[in-house]
Structure 1
Amino acid sequence: MKDFELYLRKGGLAENTVRSYLYGVRFFLANYEVTMEDLLEYKSYLLDNFKPKTVNLRLQAINKYLIFNDQKELTLKFVKIQQKPFLEDVISHADYLFLKRSLKKDNNLKWHFVVWFFGATGARVSELIKLKVEHVEVGYFDIYSKGGKMRRLYIPKKLRNSCQKWLDIENRHSGYLFLNKFNQPITARGIAQQLKNYAVKYQLNTKVVYPHSFRHLFAKNFLAKYNDIALLADLMGHESIETTRIYLRKTATEQQAIIDKVVNW
């Protein structure tokens, strides 16, 4: 870390910036490994708990560290800073159902269940790839953060029963739930890319078909059905209820529909 600190100071950064970057990198190294999967998980953690400006500051810190270690290929993209009064790039419930049905109709049950698990559990992609057959059997997955906190990811009964039938047909009774063609656990990057491929195949907007989009959908649907934002914050693993409040907002499309219906003067 001393060499990295020297590298930052040679770059002419302000003292506060150096301290901030060192803090961010130390936090990352204490809780994650330097792999693409962990980097994406870290970005999800930041998005769930901090404002875009802070998220980008932390991403800038880890990107500097990756470049310093000749791992530029692992650097992460920044998020848009501007705060908008609506949720952006969230898949609609109708498109979610269409994608789920289309995959089932094509007998593509693995990806049918990938989409269903995303939409019905609010799982992060880093959590979904760790799901096991045994979790389906008990109906939940306990996630322990490296800070010692525990969050329970519940699997709804309807999804659990349908998935169990699929697993019985596949004669699978243990191990990771979602495997690639080599029978290895599928990767976060693999899921993201394949979802884009299916968006193209079924003529959906590729901007709204990505792993975190389904997490947003879960949150919006949950609040629409059961208006308990404190419970949702717990289910999502948010440290602050303020983070969860964004799901009280409408998407731009929903806002337009309301205006079209209501405003007739």
Structure 2
Amino acid sequence: MKKQELTITPALIQKYAAYLREQERSPATIEKYVHDLTALSGFLAGRPVTKGALLEWKEDLIGQYTPASVNNKLAAVNGFLVFCGMGELRLRKLKIQKALFLSEDRELTRAEYVRLVRAAQRKENERLSLVIQTICATGIRVSELRFITAEAVQCGRAEVSNKGKCRTVFLPDKLRKLLKSYLQKQKITAGAVFVSRNGKPLNRSNIWREMKALCESAGVAPSKVFPHNLRHLFARTFYSIEKDLSRLADILGHSSVTTTRIYTAESGSIHARQIGRLGLVVT
């Protein structure tokens, strides 16, 4: 394959997807990379991959997406270029200044979390109520929900394998009691606790859609309601009590405390109140 004549085709994208599976990348990551590469292929419209064409695409992205989203798409394409032996065409990511505080329109509070659980209960959606509580009470990723099994509920711990790492997730006693009752009602004796009608583990799109449907009745802004925000709430709550960033990183399955530090960020208004309580204004 001549580097200067590389053209992105569906077959080449699938070949790269197969490589990613061999590298044990998560299904969600592979799906996203395939989507981004397909979009780039559409933008190029049969033109070969050149630095100039890639820069045009990057400029087009900047006009449509947030810097973080642009960088995610660049990462997908840069990995593909290395795979094709054209690493010299990789694009530089946008520089993003690190935010010190969470945006208040994105931060889910404990009171809002409770309202979401109550709203699910009012709709008699016990499964969704327990899904929300399980994610928030353990700090697991929504993709890890499949590891919450009947066996894990019985022994009080789940063995989670994700992104090439394995860790033990402990289930609080109160949560175990609720899950045991749910398992009995659903007549589930083995395997995943939360399954769809056809018996397959729930996926993130199902959970996301059901959670969004609670927003109005729960009185919570839709911008705050998505499964990963429950994980963030767990992290902030744990850190506010324990103040142990390294231990929290282990619990969340993070390789670096730098990532964990993002999860423990609070809103600017909370920080302002903390500064005010220092009592250092004299007059």
Report whether the alignment pairs 1:32 with 2:49.
Answer: no
| Cα gap change, 1:202 to 1:63, in 2 (>3 Å) | farther
- The amino acid that maps onto 1:92 is T
Contact 2:232/2:264 (CA < 8 Å) preserved in 1? no
User: What are the superposed Cα offsets for residues 183-235 of structure 1, whole Å, 9 maximum, x if unpaired?
Assistant: 33211111112211112342311111101111110000001122211110100
Provide TM-score, normalisation by structure 2. 0.66
CA distance in 2, matches of 1:82, 1:167: 47
Q: Specify every segment of 5 or more residues in structure 1 that has no aligned partner in the other structure, as ranges.
A: 12-22, 41-51, 66-77
Give the alignment partner of residue 218 of structure 2, picking from 173, 185, 202: 202
Asked if residue 62 in structure 1 is aligned to residue 76 in structure 2, the reply is: yes
Residue 208 to residue 176, structure 1, CA distance change in 2 (3 Å): same
Larger radius of gyration: 2
* Bigger mean CA deviation after superposition, 215-224 or 245-254: 245-254
Aligned residues: CA RMSD: 3.7
SS in 1 for 2:230: helix
Instruction: Report if aligned partners of 1:136, 1:160 keep a CA contact under 8 Å in 2.
Output: yes
Q: Does residue 122 of structure 2 align to residue 122 of structure 1?
A: no
Gaps of 5+ in 2: 9-15, 33-65, 81-92
Cα gap change, 1:38/1:211 in structure 2, threshold over 3 Å: closer, same or farther?
Answer: farther
> Counterparts in 2 of 1:78-89, with a 5 A limit?
81-88=96-103, 89=106
Q: Deviations over 1:60-106 (max 9, x none)?
A: 343685xxxxxxxxxxxx99944221123221111011111232244
Aligned partners of 1:142 and 1:55: how far apart in 2? 32
CA-to-aligned-CA distance 1:44-66 (integer Å, 9 cap, x gap) = xxxxxxxx98985454343685x
Runs of 4+ in 1 over 3 A off after TM superposition: 23-29, 35-40, 52-59, 78-82, 255-265
Give runs of aligned pairs for residues 176-195 of structure 1, distance below 5 A. 176-195=192-211
**Deviation at residue 179 of structure 1 after TM alignment:** 1.7
Number of residue pairs matched by the alignment: 227
Aligned to 1:73: none
Q: 1:163 to 1:55 in 2, by over 3 A?
A: same
User: Equivalents in 1 of 2:247, 2:20: separation in Å?
Assistant: 27
Tell whether 2:151 aligns with 1:134: yes
- CA distance 1:167–1:145, shift in 2 (3 Å): closer
Contact 2:215 2:221 in 1 (8 A): yes
